[in-house]
């Protein structure tokens, strides 16, 4: 009888511990359009900050700024195109 009582208490304790460790339900996944919009806004924000940094650079010449902006625009268009194709 003593063994049965000990094993029952042990079993209840272990099951309570396992139940307490269960994870909460996962949050719902964002829809494809929400994901696309968030990635696009992140891309636009990064583009604008890089553009401001290039334009406000104190040492760069006008020609250097034009070249850097041209490369930035090209990279931005490629990333935007990739994002659109993944949509």
Per-residue pLDDT of 45-63, as tens digits, reads: 999 999 999 999 999 899 9
19-40 pLDDT, tens per residue?
666 777 788 888 889 999 999 9
Residues in the chain: 87
Q: In this structure, are residues 87 and 34 in contact, taking their beta carbons and an 8 Å threshold?
A: no
Give domain status of residue 9, yes or no.
no
| Distance of alpha carbon 50 from alpha carbon 25, whole angstroms | 39
Count how many domains the chain has: 1
- Is residue 19 one of the residues assigned to a domain? no
Owning domain of residue 70: 30-87
Residue 43 lies inside a defined structural domain of this protein: yes
Q: What phi, psi does 2 have (nearest 5°)?
A: -65, -40
> Does residue 22 form part of some domain?
no
Q: Give domain status of residue 87, yes or no.
A: yes
**52 assigned to some structural domain:** yes
Q: Position of tokens 């209840």?
A: 12
Q: C-alpha dihedral over 36, 37, 42, 44, to 10 degrees?
A: 110
């Amino acid at each position: 009888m003593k063994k049965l009582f000990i094993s029952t208490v042990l079993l209840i304790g272990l099951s309570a511990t396992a139940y307490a460790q269960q994870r909460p339900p996962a949050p719902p996944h964002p829809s494809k359009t929400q994901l696309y919009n968030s990635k696009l806004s992140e891309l636009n924000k990064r583009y604008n900050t890089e553009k401001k940094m290039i334009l406000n650079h104190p040492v760069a010449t006008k020609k250097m700024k034009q070249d850097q902006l041209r490369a930035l625009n090209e990279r931005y268009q490629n990333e935007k195109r990739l994002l659109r194709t993944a949509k």
